Chain A
């Protein structure tokens, strides 16, 4: 990362934390805002895929499938935006899907490390916490405050990782 990328990552990390605090203070409006962001993110993904097709994937054998995916994603994204009026369902679906996936992958990494007699407990605990968060979402599906707290927990975690990465050296030294 160069200085500009580090500064940008730091600023984004701080903005994520600020957003998290605001959402916690105003969970009712927060739900609508987050649902809108998730729908918009899908729409954005579709548009990015379209650009990816134009700049890269059209040169690839079978690249037309990327164009189709882009069109479908834009369509689904536009549909998801209409669900912003029923925010809790879309957020819970997102949180459950995301946390279960992270949980499975992280536990698998821990099991692999255990086979090598390496450090594994951290990964397994991380994975179990992710799955527990997904379960909490389902149990407290009726509570705006709990759903928003779980979403913000993830937001704070990702913000911390992003900010921590700013201070980690990433350059490789070359010695002739």
Chain B
């Protein structure tokens, strides 16, 4: 998903869930910060690099692909952008390595989503926004894994886009053309998109996530059919307008749960009632075939209409000075400090679940209650943040 949905869309969902304007801004800021909080950004502010929630192109290109390097990549992308749907899925083909990759497939309404939303309970707008980013991406990025994998993430030439037929409810098909020039913008009119180059190596970073089908999963308006590498030559239909609408309704429901209004979060539940009065407007924005700037404009107008307040653009530096000015022992109380703690908690939780399922792709996880504190020191502040550890703390 793009800035339009993660920032302005989340803002609107937060308002519909009952948050005030200021709280909604804090939530949506955090939701989009997940796409911006790279190691380079954290080094700049002097924050812990373990809290990175994304990787820049250069960071990915130079990332190591040995088991340690792969675990680092997987921790970031599986925890925040490609949350695994079923870590214990029956696979029925291939060996252990194949099974481990297959089980990282991202999808909505998995058990890990429940854990993600529960983890944000009572942890403020930063954790809420982060959880909403993860939730929304389970819809956009389904059918891909957040670890480099040719056998799962690859696509082939059978890739068609479904375009609404003129004046009717039917669709016409148009083959998708891919090119590999990263500086060339996607040509929406001609149906020419940029994707990553085919790399016949299982763990090449070009095979991470949805790189092999470009930005298509991130466009709200697009519908397409393709043959994913993992599906025994069966094609898959991706209807983004419908799925993004579900994501929006699920975000409203999840945030109501976090506000204590709907009980504990359950999967396959959507607050369609709260969204119903705006359904036409939202579907109109989602279905409109336009470049990202247009979607930002429409979502912003919708959010402003809901709240009656102007919504500022996302500014990566908005909270940096507060973090830099805070004393070392007070940084965790700043906006960015709380975001960093939420990110570390989410990463720790997902890695633990993956490791506990017998899957080594995200690296080792140590249970604090059993072994005390060991491992990466950046995670030490979580002892206070999550209140765990009993007398160890």
Task: Spell out A's residues near B (CB within 8 Å).
Answer: 1-2, 5, 49, 52, 55-57, 59-63, 65-66, 69, 105-106, 108-113, 116-119, 123, 165, 169-176
Pick from B93, B101, B200: contact of A66, CB under 8 Å: B200
A113 touches B40 (CB 8 A): yes
Q: How far is the CA of A49 from the CA of B41 in the complex (A)?
A: 37
Most central of A61, A62, A173 by chain B CB within 10 Å: A173
Contacts of B154 in A (CB 8 A): 60-62
Question: Looking at the complex, which one of B41, B59, B98, B375 makes contact with A55 (CB distance below 8 Å)?
Answer: B98
A66 to B227, CA, bound (A): 17
Pairs A–B under 8 Å by Cβ, sample size 7: A55-B98, A59-B93, A118-B41, A119-B43, A170-B364, A171-B363, A172-B365
A171 touches B374 (CB 8 A): yes
- Contact between chains at B58 and A59 (CB < 8 Å): no
Cβ-neighbour of B61 out of A49, A63, A105 (below 8 A): A105
Is the Cβ of B58 less than 8 Å from the Cβ of A61? no
Taking a contact as CB atoms under 8 Å apart, the answer to whether B363 and A110 are in contact is: no
> Could you say which of B61, B68, B375 contacts A165, with CB atoms under 8 Å apart?
B68
Q: Is the CB of B383 closer than 8 A to any CB of chain A?
A: yes
Across the interface, name the chain A residue whose C-beta is closest to B98. Answer: A56
Q: Which of B26-34, B169-177, B229-237 contacts A (4 or more CB under 8 A)?
A: B229-237
Are A60 and B386 neighbours in the complex by a CB distance under 8 Å? no
Interface residue from B101, B202, B377 paired with A52 (Cβ < 8 Å):
B202
The answer to whether B349 touches A174, judged by C-beta atoms less than 8 angstroms apart, is: yes
A2 contacts B200, C-beta separation under 8 Å: no
Q: Once bound together, how far apart are the Cα atoms of A172 and B68, in whole Å?
A: 12
Give 6 closest A-B pairs by Cβ, nearest first.
A109-B58, A171-B375, A175-B388, A174-B352, A118-B40, A118-B44
**Are B44 and A117 touching (Cβ within 8 A)?**
yes
By a beta-carbon cutoff of 8 Å, the part of chain B in contact with chain A is: 38, 40-41, 43-44, 50, 56-59, 61-62, 67-68, 71, 75, 93-95, 97-98, 101, 150-152, 154, 156, 200, 202, 227-233, 345, 347-349, 351-352, 363-369, 373-377, 379-380, 382-383, 386, 388-389
Supposing A56-B151, A57-B151 touch, asked if A108 and B376 sit within 8 A by C-beta, the answer is no
Least Cβ–Cβ distance between A63 and chain B, in angstroms: 7
- Assuming the contacts A61-B156, A61-B228, asked whether A170 and B58 have C-beta atoms less than 8 A apart, the reply is no
Chain B: CB-nearest residue to A107:
B58
A60 to B231, CA, bound (A): 8
Known: A105-B62, A119-B44. 17 other contacts (CB 8 A): A55-B98, A59-B93, A60-B150, A60-B151, A60-B229, A61-B233, A109-B56, A110-B58, A113-B43, A165-B68, A169-B377, A172-B364, A172-B365, A173-B376, A173-B382, A175-B368, A175-B386
Bound complex: CA of A52 vs CA of B57, how far in Å? 27
Known: A57-B151, A174-B349. Is A108-B366 also a contact (CB below 8 A)? no
Whole-angstrom distance from the CB of B356 to the nearest CB of chain A? 9
CA of A108 to CA of B40, assembled, Å: 13
Contacts A110-B58, A175-B389; A170 near B377 (Cβ below 8 A) = no
Q: Contacting B57 at CB < 8 Å: which of A2, A66, A112, A176? A: A112
